[in-house]
Amino acid sequence: MNKSEVKMNDLTHFKHYNVILIRYSGEIWLKSKKVKIRMLKILMNNVKNMLIRSEILVHKYQLSQDSARIFFFFNNEDIPKAVDVLRNVFGIYSFSPALRTSCKLNNIIKKAIIIGEIILQKGDTFALRVKRSGKHEYSSIEVATKVGQAILDYFTDLCLKVDLTSPQKKIYIEIRGDFSYIFTDIVKSKWGGLPIEKRKKILIMDVGRLTDLLSGFMLMKRGCDIYPILFNLLEEDNSFNVRLLNWKELVNYTPYFKFNALKVDLFKILGQLSQELKEQKYFCAICRLIRFEILSKILKELKIEGFEKIRAISDGANLNLLTSCPDEIDLESIALNFMFSENPIFTPLIGLNSKKIEQFLLKISSNLNTINYCRFKPKNQEINIEELKKIYKSLNLKHLIEESLISIKEIKIIS
């Protein structure tokens, strides 16, 4: 490690810190005042829940007077654990573990020297980055000048030099109202985005493709509250257990203590379909229509807690030939969703190339695993919308679909 770098998990670096200063995403900042305050309240509550779920004690949290920053207060030994949690919170742009003191210049100088004792080494170049909000008897430039001189005078044995262009070490000072916050690190969150809120509910259709999971994740990044429906196309339990492990990787990005999915078994229907369907080239398209019909019945007929105001469905179609499901079938069969439901189907991966999709999946977690989720797919498939509708209406699937609905299982996904 370069001497100018500070490890974020080094406890000695945090022994004087008592707060984490949070900067929220620019998307929230651009909202109207009313919408921004609503989103900030949701974001603060999400952060609190994720910290509590990780058994991290939060003393208090608050919004700055100008609504530009969020502050969470901790025991200093808990700050490294809190850093790991905050990286995954949607709606956060960046954050900084910090030392809080008053806005009095003498106090700022004393605390900046304490930080200097931790990070400065002989021969270092350094700079102060000062921001100020509110009315004070000094300017930002005066603070930087006086604190910088105090550091030079205190650490005469280190032969320090000021370098405002490319310093080896930086000390940041944010003065906001009656308090100031001194820190050395700006930690970027992994995703930014918008805070997840309960009123933006999306049903996630998942047949075992990682693209289905990623589709749900991308909607979480847009602030959506997701409800996975896991269609099981195989009788073997092992592959389904792998899928559950994949979904568990997403729990760390949610603010909820309860994250559930529904399991819908389709292997009996598909087994009968593979034996009775004369036009096997329509198999995947019919499978899609079966899923659309089941999703529609789940939303219209089943009284499931939390599902009351779901208004859309997600699909992992991506047009990059990344999965066993044919892209053309995926795309064209979406148009037939109207046969069963008025809810729109979102396809957030359509605009992403295969490399970007793979990068996103790796960024979410290195523990995601692909599975061979379907054994029924025929080699050659095609789709004719009118012919597909005729074939589907001729099939006697009502009884089997009702059986699948009756046997739905609710599964708790716990990290």
Residue closest to 113 by CA, chosen among 176, 160, 165, 175: 160
> Tell me, what's the pLDDT at 327?
75
**Residue ranges of the chain with pLDDT lower than 70?**
1-15, 322-324, 415
71, 19 in Cβ contact below 8 A? yes
CA distance 267 to 273: 10
pLDDT digits (tens, 9 = 90+) for 362-412: 999 999 999 888 887 777 777 888 998 999 999 988 889 999 999 999 998
- Going by their DSSP bridges, the two strands 225-232 and 260-265 should be labelled as parallel
CATH 3.30.2130.30 location in the chain: 11-188
> Tell me, what's the pLDDT at 337?
87
Three-state SS string across 20-80, please?
EEEEECHHHHCCCHHHHHHHHHHHHHHHHHHHHHCCCCCCEEEECCCCCCEEEECCHHHHH
> Tell me, what's the pLDDT at 331?
81
CA distance 344 to 328: 19
Q: Which of the listed CATH numbers 3.40.50.11540, 3.40.50.720, 3.30.470.30, 3.30.2130.30 matches domain 11-188?
A: 3.30.2130.30
CA distance 110 to 150: 9
> Tell me, what's the pLDDT at 15?
66
CATH fold of 201-412: Rossmann fold (3.40.50)
> Tell me, what's the pLDDT at 277?
86
Share above pLDDT 90 across residues of the chain, in percent, rounded to a whole number? 67
> Tell me, what's the pLDDT at 1?
32
CA distance 365 to 87: 13
Residue type, 294: I
CATH 3.40.50.620 location in the chain: 201-412
> Tell me, what's the pLDDT at 12?
55
> Tell me, what's the pLDDT at 3?
35
pLDDT digits (tens, 9 = 90+) for 362-371: 999 999 999 8
